[in-house]
Amino acid sequence: MDFNVTILGSNSAAPAHGRNQTSQLVNWGQQTFLVDCGESTQFQLRKFRIKYSKVDHIFISHLHGDHYLGLMGLISTFHLNNRESPLHIYGPNGLDEIISIQLKYSGIALKYPLIFNPTHQTGKDQLLDLAGLNIFSFPLKHRIPCTGFSFEEKNKRVKLKKEMVLKYKPGIEAIRTLLRDQDVKNMKGEIIFKKEDFCIIKPPRKYAYCSDTKFDREVVSHIARADLLYHESTFMEAERERATLTCHSTTTDAATIGKMAQVKQLLLGHYSVRYFDLNPLLEEAKKTFAPSMLSEEGKTYEIR
């Protein structure tokens, strides 16, 4: 089953250098989730030819404009396209009022149900429980209420070894048993196909998203051992004072959190407009945590 994230916007406060404000699409199997919605989100979805009509859940980390100003346009487009299925929005208190007042004064009665789910600042909170996937929010430390999100598979994945299936040709029922991570036995209870011989067992995968935040050790427990961590890295260490003043992280902060949380890979993002060339940010992060990457708009990152 596919599990990946596509970057739509990687910049911080304003568009610059061909980069746009924060937004990304998380895909898990047939499910598609939008995480934050900067003002260029619709344009980016069209530019990269991404079908977004199946987006049923949108997660907004906080109410700074570069993370949600594209939301109203997307809501309106769904309305114009005669959407009928419910749209669930998760975000801080006040977002529902912002949406409602815009709908009120533009005289729009949406053709589909819009369901608002408030996020909270008290520990890890389950937002969505799907068959095979849990989605949580957790508090971050920014100038206003802000949350991160984690997408966590519930179950390990069982994959058949093709060469063993071709060699021993187990029947359909035997294959179904093996895919349930069980040995295949005969009528006497004797094992005829061992699951270890026929299957590759892969642990559940996890993607964690840390939006705007200052360096915060408390977040480590929420993102621990993620297969992929996105963590804002607005500034380089030379701008440490600016990062502290604005409650943002440096590349070294992000790398340190990734190392402490024992994540497999770190994805940097939310770049300040002061940086045209992003390679120095990557080089700085790699000094602390080697498996660091730059988030690039239009690129999809597999969560392996």
Active site residues per annotation: 66
**Amino acid at position 102, single letter:** Q
* CA–CA distance, 31 with 132 (Å, rounded to integer): 11
Specify the amino acid at residue 134: N
Strands (E), the chain: 3-9, 23-28, 31-37, 57-59, 87-91, 114-118, 125-130, 133-139, 147-153, 157-160, 184-185, 191-193, 199-202, 206-210, 228-232, 266-269, 292-294, 300-302
- According to DSSP, residue 65 is labeled G
Closest CA to 95 of 111, 113, 119, 125: 119
CB-based contacts of 131, cutoff 8 Å, min separation 6: none
Which pair of structure tokens corresponds to residue 156?
């390990």
Amino acid at 167: K
Q: How far is CA 254 from the centre of its chain?
A: 16
Residue 165 neighbours by CB distance under 10 Å: 15
What tokens does 158 get? Answer: 């069982």
